[in-house]
Amino acid sequence: MSKKSNNGIKQRIVFIQILIVISIFLLGAKSFDIQIFKAKELSRKAENSYSRHITIKGERGQIFDRNMNKLATSIDAFSITACPLKIKEPGPVAKKLSKILGINQGKLKKTLSSQNMFAYLAKGISPDQAEQIRKLNLDGIYFENDAKRFYPNRELCAQVIGFTGTDDSGLEGLEFKYNYVLEGKILKIKIKKDGNGGILDIDKGKREKLRGKSIVLTLDKKIQFLSEQILEKTVKAHQAKSGIALVMRPQTGEILSIAHFPQFNPNNFKQYNHIVFRNRAVTDAFEPGSAMKVFTAAAALENGFEPKSIFFCENGTYKIGRFTIHDTHHYDWLSINQIIKFSSNIGAAKIGEKIGDKALHNYLTAFGFGNKTRIECPGETSGRLSPYQKWSKIDAGTISFGQGVSVSAIQLISGISAIANDGVLMKPLLIKKIISSTGENLKVYHPEKIRRVISSKSARRVKTMMRLVVEAKGTGSKAAMVGYTVCGKTGTAQKALKDQKGYSKDNYISIFTGFAPEANPELAILIAVDEPRKQYYGGDVAAPAFKTIMAESFSYLNIPPEKNRDMVVLVSPGEQH
């Protein structure tokens, strides 16, 4: 090899060595730049490729009845997520998913066509829906564990409990009013993803710590169930528009049942008209008709009258100005006892005249009419009881027998319970306590005395009048029970005409309310049936339902019969409006 060739080889070797040295230097410099100057930024980018921050919400608290039976709970469900970059044909995928999820196909296609690594498609879907989607075996579609609100008893006390929306927030009833108590806490956490964008892990312990508080109600599931059954039969038997049934403990104000018909299933609330969601026992006001007469009688006793004080009932027709009041039967002289027993409108109006507008108004207000009871339910009405200074002469007369005044069902049963409770008005109690996710008592609600309305003596005398209503020839004899002394009052209220003055001749609300036993009332019950057909007197429509609910509740609660009591059911001769 020539000297010239050797020099050429040496030059090439040197050149290559120089290139290698430069490359090593550049690689070292780049490595130094990556590891020292850009380490944090690149580390963050790398982390973002396999992890992300998500907001998790703890499971919603439960709603129980007084015996810790679940009325509202949360069950396992799934959320559907997607990695849009992995989906080659967004259109066909969106079409398949929209049928299962019930989501707009165009909206899904837009989400699946994005350039994102992650997207939520649906939350809280059922296991059945999740299984249908799994069978499609779609690339880029993933599942996350989630929770869904569930009402295990379906229609049971649905108007009271309410329901939640797709975001698990309360929309109606107690779910709405106590959303701040029931909803779980929210936490932002970092979770890991696989290369396809699917979730690798979520710390389940975190979700449990975020769980919301639970509510224990005073409602009794069994009494609620039998109330709803009997109410449904009553409404259907009389071809009525709707009905309400309430059961209360007079001494404590605890509510054991708030039943409605028609009902709805909160698990599928979207299938129903929103009108049926209303807790009408609290939100709706109606004229009580003759049921108001017991409060007029109570006011009379407190103003010096005796149960045997007599009033001339005008033989069935009584004119007040240009208005005329009628009785179904032509009575002449009746005592207050008889006015209540036979439900005389004229007699009640005469009592109202004697005690005066102010006294009558004051006692009706003391019984809770015209004011909210403050029950733990949203949308409560205060009813309508106008100031006595605005009453005309006919107003005073009609209010005495339950026209020209409107009340809610919860107001009416609270007032009746005050008579049963020795003249003391109690606040209606629906929530028993609030407990933590571990079952510890956080807040306990106790019976709350509002005021003494009438004396013990007057309360006992009104009880006697109400007992006469249920005995022979009384308007509520169909509520009589073997072995127990029942005290009650019928009401058959004509409904006011819409958008015009006067009352309908065809539409009524049939009412029966009362309590038993007389000496130591255990339960007070109110039945109100709206627009029954054929029969419409409260003694014929509502009293039998009252009797059945009371009898079955007594059997369930093991309340023994009174000694030496053998009440016999007799046929009612009819009653007043």
DSSP string covering 440-484: -EEEE----EEEE-S-HHHHHHHHHHHHHHHSTTSTTGGG-BTTB
Q: Give backbone dihedrals phi and psi of 80, rounded to 5 degrees, phi first.
A: -105, 125
The per-residue pLDDT for 82 is 82
The per-residue pLDDT for 30 is 64
Domain harbouring 256, CATH code: 3.40.710.10
The rounded distance, in Å, linking the Cα atoms of 552 and 525 is: 12
> What's the total number of domains in the chain?
1
- Answer yes or no: is 571 within a domain: no
- Answer yes or no: is 487 within a domain: yes
Rg (CA), the chain: 36
Which residues of the chain, if any, have pLDDT below 70?
Answer: 1-8, 10, 14-15, 26, 28-56, 188-208, 564-577
Residues 389 and 361 sit within 8 Å (Cβ to Cβ): no
Q: The pTM is what?
A: 0.83
- Answer yes or no: is 138 within a domain: no
Instruction: Give which of 281, 213, 243 is closest to 440, Cα–Cα.
Output: 213
Distance of CA 349 to the CA centre of its chain: 37
State whether residue 147 is helix, strand or coil: strand
Residues 430 and 395 sit within 8 Å (Cβ to Cβ): no
The rounded distance, in Å, linking the Cα atoms of 542 and 492 is: 10
Establish whether the linkage from the previous residue to 262 is cis, with ω within 30° of 0: yes
The per-residue pLDDT for 277 is 96
The per-residue pLDDT for 141 is 85
The per-residue pLDDT for 3 is 57
Quote the domain boundaries for residue 270: 221-431+444-557
The per-residue pLDDT for 568 is 43
The per-residue pLDDT for 180 is 95
The conformation of residue 36, written as its DSSP 8-state character, comes to I
Instruction: Give which of 520, 502, 278, 470 is closest to 403, Cα–Cα.
Output: 502
Q: Is the dihedral of CA 359, 360, 363, 369 positive or negative?
A: negative
The H-or-E segment that residue 107 falls in is helix 105-112
The per-residue pLDDT for 19 is 73
Angle at 537 between CA 534 and CA 357, to 5 degrees: 140
The rounded distance, in Å, linking the Cα atoms of 412 and 451 is: 16
The per-residue pLDDT for 7 is 65
Q: Give backbone dihedrals phi and psi of 119, rounded to 5 degrees, phi first.
A: -155, 140
The conformation of residue 528, written as its DSSP 8-state character, comes to E
Instruction: Single out the catalytic residue among 74, 290, 458, 553.
Output: 290
- Answer yes or no: is 232 within a domain: yes
Distance of CA 560 to the CA centre of its chain: 32
Instruction: Give which of 424, 452, 415 is closest to 296, Cα–Cα.
Output: 415
- Answer yes or no: is 421 within a domain: yes
The rounded distance, in Å, linking the Cα atoms of 573 and 488 is: 16
The per-residue pLDDT for 71 is 98
Instruction: Give which of 62, 130, 116 is closest to 87, Cα–Cα.
Output: 116
- Answer yes or no: is 399 within a domain: yes
C-alpha distances (whole Å) from 207 to each of 185, 202, 545 are 9, 9, 46
Give the pairing type, strands 503-516 and 487-496.
Answer: antiparallel
- Answer yes or no: is 370 within a domain: yes
Angle at 59 between CA 55 and CA 65, to 5 degrees: 160
The per-residue pLDDT for 575 is 45
The per-residue pLDDT for 37 is 55
The per-residue pLDDT for 175 is 97
Active site residue 79: no
- Answer yes or no: is 84 within a domain: no
In total, the chain counts a number of residues equal to: 577
Name the token pair of 99: 């049928």
Maximal CA-CA distance, the chain? 153
With helix as H, strand as E and coil as C, how does 256-278 read? EEEEEECCCCHHHHHHCCHHHHC
How many helices (H) and strands (E) would you count in the chain? 20, 23
Bridge partners of residue 190, in order along the sequence: 53
The per-residue pLDDT for 191 is 59
State whether residue 241 is helix, strand or coil: coil
